[in-house]
């Protein structure tokens, strides 16, 4: 096992079995289809053009690269989309550091070569994003190798292990070939994903959003800065945009569509699932700065003659946002809102307890209640959720505390 | 009725569209008329009269081409200039460019503080008091994020430049001679004269300053202008460039008709330069000049250090951004702070010839410009990066000519020194 930096390997002289120098290393390639970390071949700049040196022929790897066989057997290099070229695609480029949850630039790549059955396997183990890689790149060839080694040893490394690296590639076909799926990124909190997205250039934002799962994309989209949100949705094709908007909270979806040009939002609405479309379209009808414009139509409600077990069943079926489940609403036989039960009470009561025993009065407002009155109600009654009821006293939707925080921040 | 409403709406949309993209180009152009610009144009008019007016048309064409390239790079790639240099040319070259940029821009920051010092000296205020105060105000304003609101005040106050146009007219210049000097060929003898070449390079450097390319491209990216909306942006850039150079032309003419005509050939301080506004403002010329110079200097001083810090950190991969805390982005904040503190400190050196230093820093701008241009040319001609938006032949011709001519003049200047 020995570590070698990509910048050391690039430009290294290459000798074949005869011992003669046949060229210099131009590129180092991984074929992700075959192995996610293993070097598949080197591209050697030979006097007669670029040649492919398969990694399985390598005997040693470092300042000098020695290979089996004769240089005449090395095939001519033909460009291919399916390989990751470490110098072109990784060195000096931006990547997503999934562990550190940010976008960083690659200063160098750390490779590990190990001897297996008399030939070497080289694997990418980490990318260097710290000053050690930077200084190596800067000083290489300028100061003698031993001075550099002594210098670099003094600098603490700042590396990101390869499994935490998500590559950025804007060409969709190439993303598939290189197996870039943003698995690590998708597991982050939506707010962190949003932060990362905001740090990326537009084409890269689009690339990430086209690739990640719709549900994750929807949650991240809700957290994005409104300006970025709009430009991102405008750049996606309406098919994909509709898929993502489908998964959003109806109130967030309505907010977003409202900011888009009419033609565009119409297109997206048309391609959404009928159920979500109706909800979002209804929200779009209401004034933006009223309770109805702020509310979500996804809430948990059960008949007021039910039991705790019924409420738990309803919670299990519920697909809306986590904030909305803080209160379980009760309705009468004529669908009128008759009260509310906080989630805590459900959690600590035996399943057979009738909900009537746990009932509290629900705080309510009308659909046309303006923003400032809504925030006033939250403040006065220390609410977590507020019910919005229509003229028949039926529950039309709810406003959650996180909506109020957004309202207050935007009001400033 | 309905058609009227739809007409109104489409008109509103169009207006909104223009207003939405007008900005980066025009703002950059305004900041371009900073302390270095005002001093250099004034000195050129005082020292050479109308003689150097021939530079204005070629400089304007080059400025438009260069600024258009920056804006296009930003709109098509969505990345800053230093990001692109890093991604296409590797770490070492980026490092060299960034060090050069820091040194050059440091000279410009010094010039802005020199502008602040000399403008307020006209009111009789000591530079030892006002420069540290202004340095702190600039630092805090940008870090606190109040800059965005204040930018509009700066922009409005930039209307001061119109005074030069009026002053130029009221000074009764020899219009015929000025017009002729603008379209005439330069004399070959000038190319063997050190002082002449020095001033021409200063004029190029102050008008097409390297920092502008980084700043404009960053602003275009920041504004989220894409390749699709780019058409409108191009007009913003062209308008800004023309405005800058019309003002420059009038500053030179105003100084030529007043200072040069009266045998006042060297501008040693701001009160000399203020004389040019006398035909327009009479006794109030000092006041007007001081206010205008102060605004221009403070405006540029709030932009230069921060945009340098952004460019360097993005190119070299350090954390950057005002949304980060000091300990999260130490290099960014330190670089920003040091540029301001040292820039202000240099101006406090007793008896420092402020105008001389300002013009010198513009010569450095001029010498560095070709190197930045070469990178921009390589980038704008890269089809893999720019797709169909690569440079046309005319653009390449103008830009390469600029590179060759400026390098040639710099070499001649060193030779005749």
Other C-beta atoms within 10 Å of A339: how many? 18
| A235 chain-B contacts, CB cut-off 8 A | 226
CA proximity to B242, closest of B56, B94, B78: B56
Nearest-Cα residue of chain B relative to residue A230 = B224
How many angstroms separate the first and last alpha carbons of chain B?
A: 74
Query: For a pLDDT cut of 90, what percent of chain B falls above it?
Result: 58
Tokens of B283: 């006794």
Asked if the model's pLDDT at residue B85 lies above 50, the reply is yes
Antiparallel, parallel or unpaired: β A84-85 and A21-30: antiparallel
Does an H or E element contain A389, and which? strand A385-389
Interface test with B, best of A202, A203, A207, A236 (most B CBs within 10 A): A202
What's the pLDDT band for B104 if we cut at 50, 70, 90?
Answer: very high
Three-state DSSP string of chain B: CHHHHHHHHHHHHHHHHHHHHCCHHHHHHHHHCCHHHHHHHHHHHHHHCCHHHHHHHHHHHHHHHHHHHHHHHHHHHCCCHHHHHHHHHHHHHHHHHHHHHHHHHHHHHHHHHHHHHHHHHCCCCCHHHHHHHHHHHHHHHHHHCCHHHHHHHHHHHHHHHHHHHHHHHHCCCCHHHHHHHHHCCCCHHHHHCHHHHHHHHHHHHHHCCHHHHHHHHHHHHHCCCCCCCHHHHHHHHHHHHHHHHHHHHHHHHHHHHHHHCCCCCCCCCHHHHHHHHHHHHHHHHHHHHHHHHHHHHHHHHHHHHHHHHHHHHHHHCCCCCCCCCCCCCHHHHHHHHHHHHHHHHHHCCCCCCHHHHHHHHHHHHHHHHHHHHHHHHHHHCCHHHHHHHCCCHHHHHHHHHHHHHHHHHHHHHHHCC
For residue B172, the Cα-to-chain-centroid distance in whole angstroms is 28
Asked if the model's pLDDT at residue A411 lies above 80, the reply is no
SS3 state at A48: coil
Please tell me the distance from the alpha carbon of residue A168 to that of residue A208, in angstroms, as a whole number. 8
What's the pLDDT band for B193 if we cut at 50, 70, 90?
Answer: confident
Please tell me the distance from the alpha carbon of residue A333 to that of residue B232, in angstroms, as a whole number. 60
The 8-class DSSP code of residue A362 comes to P
Contact B105, B339 (CB under 8 A): yes
pLDDT at B22: 57
The 8-class DSSP code of residue A370 comes to B
Q: How many residues does chain A have?
A: 412
Asked if the model's pLDDT at residue B15 lies above 60, the reply is no
CA proximity to A277, closest of A245, A303, A301, A309: A245
Nearest to B91 among A138, A201, A204 (CB): A138
- Judge whether B317 is closer than 8 Å to chain A, CB to CB: yes
- The residue behind tokens 């299990």 is A316
Nearest to B86 among A92, A201, A202 (CB): A92
Asked if the model's pLDDT at residue B2 lies above 50, the reply is no
Please tell me the distance from the alpha carbon of residue A364 to that of residue B415, in angstroms, as a whole number. 84
Task: For residue range A269-291, list pLDDT tens digits in order.
Answer: 888 888 888 888 877 777 777 88
Cα radius of gyration (chain B): 21
Please tell me the distance from the alpha carbon of residue A363 to that of residue B349, in angstroms, as a whole number. 69
CATH of domain B26-415: 1.20.1740.10
Contact B118, B293 (CB under 8 A): yes
Contact A29, A85 (CB under 8 A): yes
Contact A362, A329 (CB under 8 A): yes
Nearest to A203 among B78, B92, B224 (CB): B78
Please tell me the distance from the alpha carbon of residue A166 to that of residue A180, in angstroms, as a whole number. 7
Angle, in degrees to the nearest 10, between helices B81-121 and B330-347: 30
Q: What is the mean pLDDT of chain A?
A: 89
Domain extent listing, chain B = 26-415
Q: Which domains, and CATH codes, for chain A?
A: 2-162 (2.30.30.240), 181-285 (1.25.60.10), 300-411 (3.10.580.10)
The answer to whether B91 contacts A129, with C-beta atoms less than 8 Å apart, is no
Residues of B numbered 129-168 whose beta carbons fall under 8 angstroms of chain A's beta carbons: which are they? none
Please tell me the distance from the alpha carbon of residue B52 to that of residue B125, in angstroms, as a whole number. 34
- Judge whether B78 is closer than 8 Å to chain A, CB to CB: yes
Asked if the model's pLDDT at residue A57 lies above 80, the reply is yes
| Pairwise pLDDT comparison (A139 vs B13), residue with the higher score | A139
List residues bridging with A302 in a β-sheet.
A330
CA proximity to A298, closest of A397, A383, A400: A397
Contact B250, B168 (CB under 8 A): yes
Distances in Å between the alpha carbon of B317 and those of A129, A178, B224?
8, 25, 21
Asked if the model's pLDDT at residue A1 lies above 70, the reply is no
Least confident of A74-78, B3-7, B134-138, B359-363: B3-7
Q: Is the dihedral angle over the CA atoms B168, B169, B171, B176 positive or is it negative?
A: positive
- Judge whether A366 is closer than 8 Å to chain B, CB to CB: no
Tokens of B220: 């275009």
pLDDT at B7: 56
Least confident of A20-34, B2-16, B59-73, B389-403: B2-16
Antiparallel, parallel or unpaired: β A2-5 and A21-30: unpaired
Least confident of A139-148, B31-40, B55-64, B131-140: A139-148
Q: What mean pLDDT do residues A231-257 have? A: 87
The answer to whether B316 contacts A134, with C-beta atoms less than 8 Å apart, is yes
- Judge whether A227 is closer than 8 Å to chain B, CB to CB: yes
Contact A281, A297 (CB under 8 A): no
Asked if the model's pLDDT at residue B341 lies above 90, the reply is yes
The answer to whether B90 contacts A137, with C-beta atoms less than 8 Å apart, is yes
Q: What ipTM was predicted for this assembly?
A: 0.80
- Which residues lie below 8 Å from residue B117, measured CB to CB, with a gap of 6+? B127, B130, B131, B347, B354
Tokens of B93: 């070259």
The 8-class DSSP code of residue A140 comes to B
Asked if the model's pLDDT at residue B21 lies above 80, the reply is no
């Amino acid at each position: 096992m020995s570590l070698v930096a990509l910048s050391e390997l690039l430009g290294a002289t290459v000798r074949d079995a005869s011992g003669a120098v046949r060229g210099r290393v131009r590129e180092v390639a991984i074929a992700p289809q075959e192995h996610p970390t293993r070097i598949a071949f080197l591209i050697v700049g030979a006097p007669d053009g670029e040649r492919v040196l398969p990694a399985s022929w390598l005997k040693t790897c470092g300042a000098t690269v020695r290979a089996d066989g004769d240089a005449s057997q090395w095939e001519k290099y033909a460009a291919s989309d399916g390989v990751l070229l470490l110098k072109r695609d990784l060195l000096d480029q931006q990547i997503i550091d999934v562990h550190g949850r940010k976008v960083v630039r690659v200063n160098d790549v750390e490779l590990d070569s190990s001897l297996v059955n008399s030939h070497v396997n080289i694997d990418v183990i980490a990318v260097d994003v710290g000053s050690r890689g930077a200084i190596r790149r800067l000083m290489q060839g300028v100061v003698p190798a031993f001075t550099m080694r002594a210098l670099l040893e003094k600098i603490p490394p700042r590396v990101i292990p390869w499994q935490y690296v998500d590559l950025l590639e804007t060409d969709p076909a190439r993303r598939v070939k290189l197996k870039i799926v943003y698995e690590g990124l998708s597991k982050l909190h939506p707010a962190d994903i949003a932060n990362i997205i905001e740090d990326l250039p537009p084409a890269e934002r689009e690339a990430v959003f086209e690739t990640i799962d719709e549900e994750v994309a929807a949650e991240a989209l809700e957290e994005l800065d409104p300006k970025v949100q709009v430009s991102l949705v405008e750049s996606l094709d309406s098919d994909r945009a509709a898929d993502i908007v489908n998964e959003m909270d109806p109130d967030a979806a309505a907010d977003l569509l409202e900011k888009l040009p009419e033609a565009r939002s119409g297109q997206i609405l048309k391609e959404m699932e009928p159920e979500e479309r109706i909800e979002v379209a209804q929200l779009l009808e209401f004034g933006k700065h009223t309770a109805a414009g702020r509310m979500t139509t996804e809430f948990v409600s059960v008949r007021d003659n039910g039991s705790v077990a019924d409420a738990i069943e309803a919670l299990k079926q519920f697909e809306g946002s986590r904030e909305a489940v803080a209160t379980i609403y009760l309705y009468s036989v004529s669908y009128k809102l008759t009260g509310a039960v906080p989630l805590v009470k459900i959690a600590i009561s035996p399943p057979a307890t009738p909900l009537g025993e746990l009932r509290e009065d629900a705080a309510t407002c009308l659909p046309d209640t303006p923003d400032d009155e809504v925030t006033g109600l939250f403040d006065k009654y220390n609410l977590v959720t507020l019910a919005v009821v229509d003229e028949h006293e039926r529950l039309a939707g709810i406003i959650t505390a996180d909506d109020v925080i957004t309202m207050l921040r935007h009001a400033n | 009725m309905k058609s009227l409403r739809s007409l109104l709406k489409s008109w509103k949309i169009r207006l909104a569209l223009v207003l939405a993209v007008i900005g980066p180009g025009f703002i950059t152009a305004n900041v371009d008329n900073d302390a270095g610009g005002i001093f250099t144009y004034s000195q050129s008019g005082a020292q050479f009269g109308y003689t150097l007016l021939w530079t204005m048309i070629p400089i304007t064409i080059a400025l438009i081409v260069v600024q258009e390239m920056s804006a296009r790079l930003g709109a098509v790639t969505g990345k800053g200039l230093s990001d692109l240099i890093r991604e296409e040319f590797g770490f070492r070259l980026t490092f060299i460019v960034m060090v050069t940029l820091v040194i050059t821009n440091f000279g410009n920051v010094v010039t802005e503080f020199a502008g602040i010092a000399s403008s307020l000296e006209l009111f009789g205020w000591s530079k030892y008091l006002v420069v540290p105060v202004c340095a702190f105000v600039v630092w805090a304003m940008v870090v606190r994020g109040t800059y965005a609101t204040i930018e509009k005040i700066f922009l409005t106050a930039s209307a001061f430049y119109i005074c030069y146009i009026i002053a130029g007219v009221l000074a009764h210049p020899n219009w015929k001679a000025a017009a002729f000097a603008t379209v005439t060929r330069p004399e070959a003898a000038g190319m063997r004269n050190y002082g002449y070449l020095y001033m021409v390079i200063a004029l190029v450097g102050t008008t097409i300053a390297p920092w502008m390319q980084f700043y404009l491209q960053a602003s275009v990216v920041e504004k989220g202008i894409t390749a699709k909306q780019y058409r409108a942006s191009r007009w913003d850039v062209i308008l800004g460039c023309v405005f800058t150079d019309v003002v420059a032309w009038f500053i030179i003419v105003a100084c030529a008709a007043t200072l040069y005509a009266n045998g006042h050939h060297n501008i040693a301080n701001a009160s000399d330069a203020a004389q040019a506004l006398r035909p327009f403002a009479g006794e109030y010329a000092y006041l007007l000049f001081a206010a205008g110079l102060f605004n221009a200097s403070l405006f540029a001083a709030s932009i230069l250090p921060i945009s340098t810090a952004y460019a360097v950190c993005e190119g070299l991969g350090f954390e950057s951004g005002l949304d980060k805390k000091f300990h999260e982005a130490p290099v960014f904040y330190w670089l920003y702070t040091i540029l301001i503190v040292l820039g202000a400190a240099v101006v406090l050196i007793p008896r420092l010839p402020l105008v001389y230093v300002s013009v010198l820093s513009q010569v450095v701008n001029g010498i560095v410009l070709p190197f930045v241009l070469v990178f921009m040319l390589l980038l704008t001609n890269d089809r893999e990066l720019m797709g169909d938006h690569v440079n046309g032949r005319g653009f390449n011709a103008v830009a390469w000519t600029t590179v060759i001519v400026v390098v040639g003049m710099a070499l001649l200047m060193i030779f005749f020194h």
